[in-house]
Structure 1
Amino acid sequence: MALEQVEAGEEKLKNLNLQQLQKNVYVRLSSPLDIPKSGVGRIFSVSNSKSLCIAATSASLLLHPLEGLRETFASGSNHSTPQLSPAAQIETVSHPALGATPSFVRFADAGERVLVGLSNGTIAIWETAKLLACDLVPTAVLQPPSPGLILLDLVENPLDLPEFPDALYSQAGSSSRAAASQSIMFNGKQLALGLVTGEIMQFTPAGEQKDMTVKPEELSAEFCVADLRCIENYVFLATYASSASNDADVSDEDQVFVILRDASTKQIKFVHFPLDPAPIFGFGGGPKQRRYCARLKE
């Protein structure tokens, strides 16, 4: 398979407007979080279809209407930190079936369900409508496949397969082919895994391997796929980081590529960003942030 690497260029984007609702207002969703530097997680999620957001705290989950969040921002006085009262609160640490802090919170099935991954590897599922009605009993509680596994990521399927969320676990002493990151295609037809060894593996929802992409030749053996996003069927946004460094450290050596695969010609093009297009800003001494990206179409 032919490989090609080029440097990314820049284009001006028209009609992109960002609006700040209120200057110097910080809405507090919970008390300060105690998150270890080596921790991983996604502690905030938004459902636009349900006009809701969910946030994790050190001991519970908080469900908020977006309208209340907007109103609190708009009505807050300058340099204030108002506290927002949740529509529902689920205590996870004291819950007999859960017994752990939430690490991942996600909306799934077009906002109809809430997925929560806990620090002990357990995954709990609630129906959103029942939470709003203060029915806090989870619909299902799933234990990790085997003891001692660490939950690295929890991804919902965005479209046609709501029954196909994906959980990524790791275990100390796992093989060199272990996955370090994952992403599901926007149409739900493909799961991509970024490996510790730097390759990207593509699978169908049934688990059949579709393809594999090697890592850029210029990267040394210690680079893994630390973050992976499926943009199109054969287009990925991949962040490669040194697996030898501390996961909690913000590395200036991360390498960011857009990977373009041509299925007909079997060619792979690596488009390298000379600078990180989304560096971490104003965030030091805490867990390493994940990247956010969006698909923009006219």
Structure 2
Amino acid sequence: MSDGLLALFDPPADPALEDVAEELLKLDPQGDAWAAVIRHTYDMIYNGQETGRYRWDQLMKTEKTHFGTVFEINAQREFKFAGIDEDPTDYRICGHLVDAKWSQTDGRWMLPPEVTGHIALVATGSDVDSVWSLGLVRVLPRYRTESANRDKKSTLNKEGRAAIRWLWRNEPLRPNVLLQLDQSAVEQIVALKAGTKRTDQLFRVAEGRIVHRSAVLTVARQLDAMRRLRGGSGGSRRALAPDGLLILSGAYHAQIARDLGAPAPRRDEFISVRVVPSAPGQGACISGGWWRLAAPGERTILPAPDLPREAP
């Protein structure tokens, strides 16, 4: 089928597929929960706290294949989709059979013969580009590629891909800061012997960027990484304070970040910012004094202030 004909292609009316689409949009109008499912699935597969991995190309082939299964399970836990073991698909949504499919490569979902005629929930994403997509398609026989592998699985052909009812397309995925940073700098971080030193350096290099909890665990490779970050004489906050750097927690200091004009971290995120004293009313009031973000290249003379005490 030519691209010109595809532009005129109109999939047949499918009330069941629209029922499923409406239900998914009702459950998650902005797609935030789906984005969190995908972010969590990446982090589970990397298993950074035990392995130190944070990139797709660091995974073994079997782990990459397993991503789709973990995605399916995480989605069911999040949305409590129905389903029984005898079904040929993963879920029942509004009474309709729906099979969940993930592909790291857009358009390459592997479809077994038993999903033919049923609805496929197709999802894809890129941790490098921090984007994700999710849509629905009825797997009609004419939508499948002619060739199949030894498991008789096939992919969607051009007409099938054009028939996808996208609910979210190239939406933002919470970024993996270890992929955003210069990779030579990341290599230098992970080469440090002590977990606390690696955490210190992460927040120096990632100044001004949101750092997810999983990135801290990946770099620290310690069970008590969060405690070592927060406090004590050996904590990262204490180590970075002489350089004017604050490590703000989204659980306790999001308002301070907003007052400073920095990106506000969520509850499971952090951000390091360099601060200098300011005039009253300018910036954020911390420990009884006023502070603002340091300008690029501005010298920090005083150490960063102590932050409000966090709950245990």
For the pair shown, the structure with the greater C-alpha radius of gyration is: 2
TM beyond 0.5: no
| Bigger strand fraction | 1
Which gives a bigger RCO, structure 1 or 2 (Cα 8 Å, sep 6+)? 1
Q: TM-score, normalised by structure 1?
A: 0.28
